[in-house]
Amino acid sequence: MQLAQLRSWSRKLFHARLKLVGLVLLLAGGSSDAYLNVFISQSQVNKLLGLDAELYYVRGGIINAYAMNFVVPVAANIDDLEFTWQSLAGQPLAYSLKIDYDMRGVTGYGSSLMALMPPKVNVSSTGHVPVEQQVFAIRLPCSGLESAEVKVAIKLNVTAPPETKFSDTILVFKRNKICMKGIRTQSKNDSVKLEAGPLANGNHAFYVAATCACALILVVVGVASIIYIRNSKARSQHPRKSLACCSYSAAGANGLAASSVLVKVDNRPGSANSGSYATIADLEPLYARPCGSRASYYAASHVTHLSQATDPCEKARAVIVPRAAMQCRSVVQEGTFGRIYRGTLSQAGREQEVIIKTVTDAASAYQTSLLVVEGAQLAGLVHGNVASLAASCLDSTAPMLAYACTPSDLNLKTYLTDGKNHPVTRDLVNIAVQVARAGAFLHGRGILHRDIATRNCLVDTSSLRTRLADAALSRDLFPQDYHCLGDNDNRPIGWMSLESLQLGQYSTASDAWSFGVFLWELATMGQQPYAEVDPFELAACLRDGYRLAQPRPCPDELFAVMAVCWLGPARDRPTMPQLLAYLQEFYDALGGYI
């Protein structure tokens, strides 16, 4: 049992580190004003999570309230925690310090022994925050009598300077201290005298109240600025308020449940809304100072206007072949005016397997031209995860576009929803990595996709090699995914970012939003996003802070990526290279457990 606990907690520590190394977003303002700095030094972050970076809770007098919700795991071999603080008011500021914890821990193993002994600190329960940067330390000593994961809340109340507009500041630092039976570690750092004081409260009332107040656990990760929302494992002892756009439920494909279609969250300090959730639309990235080579690896910025240097029709004409070179063999998919065949393409004396897109006699001139324009979007590109146009035939009223494929290639949405396939989590993350690689490649070539979704991907069912394709004929073949909002323009409403819906603005950031919905499709085996929401109301719901809920079964790490893709400000979303880096690491980590 102890070995199982150790493995479980080791995974939690590793996953916490993964979240921190996940995504480096643009730094932005916090949630309210203050008058001090509080942060964890680089050496402390390295000790706790193996990263070379400082983690700020308050920086330049600005509080990031969301950072306070990040629960930092403390390994069994670590006893001492250090915080750096400094008054910015030009004078010392009065404070009070209290530590709440559950001395037995929350293990689920029926423990009745004391796992954590009373914490010790090197400052008194009341005093003054110094004007110069100083460190205060807290020791969390395990008894060694029992294995447990002990929830600790360090509550710091700083009194506002007199004759200022500020209110008192309350900061709560959350820690999960891991204690192991038979391990009673002692810190090697005895440079400061740590004494037990009247700071510890063993009744754990504060932490339980804080935890149970949330139906979602919002984890905001500092160094890598990944904001992460969990709703499947949260607890609440209070009735939830009814919310206008939420409480929808959807039965998952293949028996998978998607929890609720939408959740709204709003637990901002001082918010008039006392509901159980926190609003994603209002979240701001954490303050963090990225260090090391990883920062340059993640370095990227969103571009608002990308354009192709060549006209799509010119691209199609560049790969034109005679009509006789394409042979249609069998129909794969058919819509009202579009049709997809399996067939062959004969060029230079050899034949290759292809998928052929064309239109029927019912197609209008506009629909015919749209096939060519959208089908040629990725023409001329060479990448292992991009299904680019291989050949075109434009010498008739029904143009034909050919794409190289294998006999086992299938539309990804069809693959997910047919009920015969059962990919495991690592398979789904592998597909996500490949599509992120394709997205990063396109953005690097100055191309916006504008419709990243499972319906626009091809997957080789024998190897799970996945390629991102264009959106030609998708409106006709997947009509349930497109909606016209009274302007005669069918758009993929459920995959569009807020700024795309409201203002018609597209950028690399809007592609990132669509990619987040694509990940949700993978996690739900191809379910319809926002299926029970009126398309005319979706923009208002997104503006008010509603988002897709975490599917059940979906790893927290994967949902974390979705959550940051759906941040309201476009500049705060991760770029495709950042998404690729995080998903690749997560995929590699999953392989370590097989």
Q: What is the pLDDT of residues 225-263, one digit of tens each?
A: 333 333 333 333 333 222 233 322 233 334 444 434 566
pLDDT given at position 211: 36
Q: Which helix (H) or strand (E) holds 351?
A: strand 350-359
Q: Is 544 a catalytic residue?
A: no
Please report the pLDDT score of residue 299 as a whole number: 38
Query: Does the pLDDT of residue 352 top 90, yes or no?
Result: yes
The pLDDT of residue 449 is above 90 = yes
Give the SS3 label for residue 520: helix
The encoded tokens of residue 104 equal 């037995």
Beta strand extents in 159-225 (DSSP E only): 169-179, 195-196, 200-201, 217-221
Give the Cα separation of 95 and 73 in Å (integer).
25
Residue 429 pLDDT greater than 60, yes or no: yes
pLDDT at site 301: 67
Q: What is the pLDDT of residues 44-53, one digit of tens each?
A: 888 887 776 7
Answer whether 368's CB lies under 8 Å from 359's CB: yes
How much is the average pLDDT of 561-589? 93
Selecting from 3.40.720.10, 3.20.20.140, 2.60.40.2170, 3.30.540.10, what CATH number does the domain 31-210 have?
2.60.40.2170
Q: What is the pLDDT of residue 468?
A: 98
Catalytic residue (one of 451, 476, 511, 572): 451
Residues with Cβ within 8 Å of 518's Cβ and at least 6 positions away in sequence, in order, are 432, 435, 452, 453, 454, 495
The pLDDT value recorded for residue 262 is 65
| Mean pLDDT for all residues in the chain | 76
Choose the weakest-confidence range: 266-275, 335-344, 480-489.
Answer: 266-275
User: Is the pLDDT confidence value at 491 over 60?
Assistant: yes
Residue 2 CB partners (closer than 8 Å, separation 6+): 147, 180, 181, 182
The CATH number of 312-404, from 3.30.70.270, 3.30.200.20, 3.40.640.10, 3.40.50.150, is 3.30.200.20
**Cα separations in angstroms, 188 against 78, 79, 80:** 10, 9, 9
Query: Residue 425: is its pLDDT beyond 50?
Result: yes
Query: CATH 1.10.510.10 spans which residues of the chain?
Result: 19-29+213-306+409-594
pLDDT at 115: 83
CATH 3.30.200.20, the chain: domain bounds: 312-404
| Strand ranges, E, within 130-285 | 134-139, 148-158, 169-179, 195-196, 200-201, 217-221, 226-230, 262-264
| 394-422 core/surface letters (b: 16 or more CB in 10 A; e: else) | beeeebbbbbbbeeebbbbbbbbbeeebe
Q: Structure tokens of 131?
A: 């004007």
pLDDT digits (tens, 9 = 90+) for 286-300: 222 233 323 233 335
CATH of 19-29+213-306+409-594, one of 3.40.50.2000, 3.40.190.10, 3.40.220.10, 1.10.510.10: 1.10.510.10
Residues of the chain with CATH 2.60.40.2170: 31-210
- pLDDT on residue 309: 52
How do beta strands 200-201 and 93-101 pair?
parallel
**Token match 């959740």: residue?**
263
